[in-house]
Copies of this chain bind each other. A is one copy, B any other.
Amino acid sequence: MSELALAAFAAETGTHVVRAPRDRAFRAFARRFDEPAYLARLRSESVRWTARSAPDFPPLLHAIHDPPPGLFVRGDASMELLRRATVAVVGARSCSPYGGQVARMLGRELGRAGLVVVSGLARGIDGEAHRGALESGGLTVGVLGCGIDRDYPAAHRELAARIRATGLMVSEYAPGVEPAPWRFPARNRIIAGLSAATVVVEARDRSGALITADLALEEGREVFAVPGEITSALSSGTNDLLKLGATPLTGLADVLDVFGLTSMDKEAVELGSSAEEVLARLRDGPASADELARATGLDAGALASALTELELAGCAVAGGGVYRAN
């Protein structure tokens, strides 16, 4: 039985199918399914197909209890990418500046360390994780919850193209399948399934990222949660994950440990004395420009130039009207 027929049947009937249904409709579909023609059409759209039974199907994904019939794949990298050390970085779509900053930083550091960053191309945490990985020249994989031919969300069309230029976009859904809310939990099992470890950066209660974490835990994969302020609704899900036994992630080294790797030293940055002073204050927590002026005694011009220096050096980021150490 052709696994591709299963995937094509799921697309045509708008259903989620991982095993051949024992019904007349599917038998009829499978009988008339023209695999060579279907594959030719995929090729014409630069889409590859890797069946669950193929030797290059990702072994970690094969090991979950309900692996998809196969993966539709676009992008410049070979499937070998998904046999490397893979880490999922996921979280809230409407993340906070803190969450966005941590996701970007993690993406960058994981990418620089040679790990493959897997995420869902969504707004917020997912997008920042992909961007961070690309920024560092690292490799990243986007997992779609819709047909492989869709760039969803549309706002991430360009990001998707950048991911495909060196990495991969994958989906269990054939071209033409529309995004639908019920497909996202199914997509999350692919993200968790492809990854040896899953990091949840920020998540509200009962959010999709927590589903990804649950699926990862069920499959016995390592799950990390990034601690956040207990007064922030966006850290409520992640802090609860910590209570449930997820490992707190405070830096790259925590993830590298899983793969028996050790962290490289951060490059030392040479900063001016005003910038050092501002950075020292930011290390104690986020602050507005007003507060920084008060704390350091710098005038507006000197403060602005110190902040620019820190942002360019990657030592501080601005967001939500406040600055934070990076």
Contact = CB atoms under 8 A, between A and B. Distances in A.
Contacts of A320: 285-288, 291
A233 interface: yes
A286 B242 contact: no
Contacts of A158: none
A102 to B, nearest CB: 7
A231 interface: yes
Nearest to A234: B284
Contacts of A229: 98, 227-229, 285-286, 324
Contacts of A271: none
A166 B113 CA distance: 57
Nearest to A201: B230
> In this complex, which of A94, A102, A286, A325 has the most chain B Cβ atoms within 10 angstroms of its Cβ?
A286
Contact of A96 (B102, B243, B284): B284
Interface residues of A, number: 44
A212 interface: no
Contact of A248 (B97, B232, B234, B239): B239
Mostly, the A contact residues are mixed
Contacts of A294: 321
A234 B243 CA distance: 21
Interface in A157-196: none
A86 interface: no
B250 A227 contact: no
Contact of A230 (B96, B102, B291): B102
Contacts of A94: 284
Contacts of A291: 320-322
Contact of A286 (B248, B251, B322, B325): B322
A283 to B, nearest CB: 4
A256 to B, nearest CB: 14
B251 A227 contact: no
A42 B65 CA distance: 73
A52 to B, nearest CB: 37
Contacts of A97: 285
Interface of A: 94, 96-98, 101-102, 226-236, 239-240, 242-243, 247-251, 254, 283-292, 294, 320-322, 324-326
Given A248-B248, A291-B322, 11 more contacts: A227-B227, A227-B228, A229-B324, A233-B325, A239-B250, A242-B248, A288-B320, A288-B321, A288-B322, A291-B321, A322-B322
21 contacts: A96-B284, A97-B285, A98-B231, A101-B231, A227-B229, A227-B230, A227-B235, A228-B229, A229-B229, A229-B285, A231-B324, A231-B326, A232-B284, A240-B250, A242-B248, A285-B320, A288-B290, A289-B321, A291-B320, A291-B322, A322-B322
